[in-house]
Structure 1
Amino acid sequence: MINSNITRMRSFFILGFPGLSPQYYGLVSAVLLFVYVTIAVGNIFIFTFVTCEKSLQKPTYLVFCHLALNDLTFGTVTLPKIIAKYWFGDSIISFYGCFTQMFFVHYLGSAMSFILSVMALDRFVAICVPLRYPALITNNIISVLCGLAWFIPVSLMVTVVFHALTLPFCKSNIIAQCYCDHISITSQACGDYVKFAQVTTLCIAMICLLLPLAFILFSYISIIVVIMKISNTAGRKRMLSTCTPQIFITCLFYLPRCFVYVANTIGFSFSLDIRILLILLYSLLPAAVNPIIYCFKTQDIKQALMRKLRATRIGIVVKIFT
């Protein structure tokens, strides 16, 4: 039964790293600003370059665009507030602002899982049934699948936010994290309904993370089995190189999360500062590193970049000598 006597806090206080000395606030804010600029520049570049370069108008690179958009949005939702805390001392976030941030944090993570499964499907069809690839995987089909990846988590995350909003808040308004997430918010609530909201959210998280992960594992294991059956060594390397970027990106997203979850399950505890740092790293590191993987581990993007650079260099030389 939902408690009708709900306490509405006017705002929350973002704690950040509780053990951090004030003398390092400027350094931390500068590092976080650098990370945000890296995320913004890298992902805007990938999105713009793939969108404008006709040779990259292929299903695989359309998925990269959706990943770049997700990474850019996640960095924009989470980083400005924590940067403001350490740079300007602005630790306050409004009640509904905190819930809005929580929605996007979990929604974007869930959407990323489904987009990664679309990426795995693309590579699975390309390597396991290559003759059917042109018919099964087209730009339109990938656009529809990525659209579903963005759409499916919406109702699930609305449910998560609604359950959290109905909780009575009777503890402190301190968010022991660098941004508002479900655990940090519900830990300030009280009443019998808190456990139900937490269990419901856990089940939704398992659906959004583990179901795509199961399909991703099936896809890449099948791909590796097919590649290992190729007798030609050069052919094996060539086939493996076509899915190496996707494997790197998927590992960056899932492996740190699995490590933290397994460590908590077996009773390996972290200090609050280390826990917050780990969560920040596995949330933001992929967003910062993914554009580098796209550029240096994907032949088509690398070659298109080299052509653009050569054309620019030739244009500059021509202008100088004319």
Structure 2
Amino acid sequence: FLLLKQYVRLLLGNIFCMSVFCMFVVSVKSLQKPTYLVFCHLAINDLTFGTVTLPKVISKYWFGDATISFYACFTQMFFFHDLGSVTSFILLVMALDRFIAICIPLRYAVLITNNIISVLCGFAWLIPLPLMVAVVLYVLTLPFCKSNIIAQCYCDHISITSQACGDDVQVVAVTSLCIAMFCLLLPLAFILFSYSSIIVVILKMCNAAGRRKTLSTCTPQIFITCLFYLPRCFVYVANTVGFSFSIDVRIFLILLYSLIPATVNPIIYCFKTKDIKQTLIKKVKTAKIGIEIKLSH
């Protein structure tokens, strides 16, 4: 029941965000900002990720359906890692947007436009695609001679390769780790650079109110970035160096970095955004006035 509530919350939150961005961003000029286009891409990614992973987990606990076909498992593994990598690159685009807006604000209108953000988000979706296809095809070449039981809530690379045998298993694991680190560490390096530069600029501000306002726009993004990257990098590195921890801890870490950000993102990027919140309140008040006028007649 807890997982179902989590999925419904994720589903409704991201669908609501997508609806707001599609309706208001098109019609309200104050919301026609490149930043909100990034939020829309993030909502689409979070919604897709939750739909690919959670229903199967829910069916296991509700209906006892704990089996998945061989190729369906590999399909889920592809989407699990591909959508996670897309999130990483979208966070990079978001960090770039904040970096230019705060560090070089006079160039923001020229460097960051809706068209440029659309192209960057398009690359965020396209770059991981061939890499994850290569990872899946590489793992498919391995012979699987161990148990067909995966002690995991999703079909991911680590759980699948743990069932393989042969001399190539370690080579596949290291190659896949390098691809995963490229999709994680390359964006993370720029994200760390951008937010470090932003913090330096904020500390140099003389106006305390402006400093607090600027910091408040970046704090939620820093929080989500840490929640996404830290557990994920820990799981990958721990598996490579041979550090072992219990299955429950591993499942908890995976749920932490895969589901919590997808659920929290709509709250931070939609409901907590000042312009969007004010527009929603205005729309609700207008709707109430319309109803009252009709009732008075």
TM-score range, shorter chain: over 0.9
Distance across 2 between alignment mates of 1:321 and 1:58: 39
Alpha-carbon distance, 1:270 to partner: 3.4
Select 1:38's aligned residue among 9, 15, 25: 9
Q: Confirm or deny: 8 A CA contact 1:244 1:297 kept in the other structure.
A: no
Distance across 2 between alignment mates of 1:129 and 1:64: 21
Q: Confirm or deny: 8 A CA contact 1:110 1:153 kept in the other structure.
A: yes
Do residues 70 (structure 1) and 51 (structure 2) align? no
| Alpha-carbon distance change, 185 to 125 in structure 1, aligned in 2, over 3 angstroms | same
Select 2:288's aligned residue among 301, 304, 313: 313
Task: Tell me the SS of whatever aligns to 2:127.
Answer: helix
Select 1:201's aligned residue among 167, 171, 176: 176
| Contiguous gaps of at least 5 residues in structure 1 | 1-29
Do residues 47 (structure 1) and 18 (structure 2) align? yes
Select 2:166's aligned residue among 191, 198, 202: 191
| Alpha-carbon distance change, 269 to 182 in structure 1, aligned in 2, over 3 angstroms | closer
Task: Tell me the SS of whatever aligns to 1:173.
Answer: coil
Alpha-carbon distance, 1:232 to partner: 0.8
Q: Confirm or deny: 8 A CA contact 1:77 1:104 kept in the other structure.
A: yes
| TM-score (ref. length: structure 2) | 0.94
| Contiguous gaps of at least 5 residues in structure 2 | none
Do residues 87 (structure 1) and 62 (structure 2) align? yes
Alpha-carbon distance, 1:320 to partner: 2.8
Distance across 2 between alignment mates of 1:172 and 1:217: 41
Which amino acid in structure 1 is aligned with residue 210 of structure 2? G
Task: Tell me the SS of whatever aligns to 1:164.
Answer: helix
Do residues 255 (structure 1) and 230 (structure 2) align? yes
Q: Confirm or deny: 8 A CA contact 2:174 2:240 kept in the other structure.
A: no
Alpha-carbon distance, 1:266 to partner: 9.2
Q: Confirm or deny: 8 A CA contact 1:51 1:57 kept in the other structure.
A: no
Do residues 107 (structure 1) and 82 (structure 2) align? yes
Distance across 1 between alignment mates of 2:13 and 2:220: 16
Give the RMSD, CA atoms, in angstroms: 1.8
Select 1:232's aligned residue among 207, 224, 239: 207
| TM-score (ref. length: structure 1) | 0.86
> Partner residue of 1:159?
134
1:109-124 to 2 correspondences below 5 Å: 109-124=84-99
4+ long deviations beyond 4 Å: 258-269
Distance across 1 between alignment mates of 2:109 and 2:94: 15
Select 1:174's aligned residue among 134, 144, 149: 149
- Point out which structure has higher relative CO (alpha carbons under 8 A, 6+ apart): 1
Alpha-carbon distance, 1:305 to partner: 1.6
> Partner residue of 2:191?
216
Structure with greater helix percent: 2
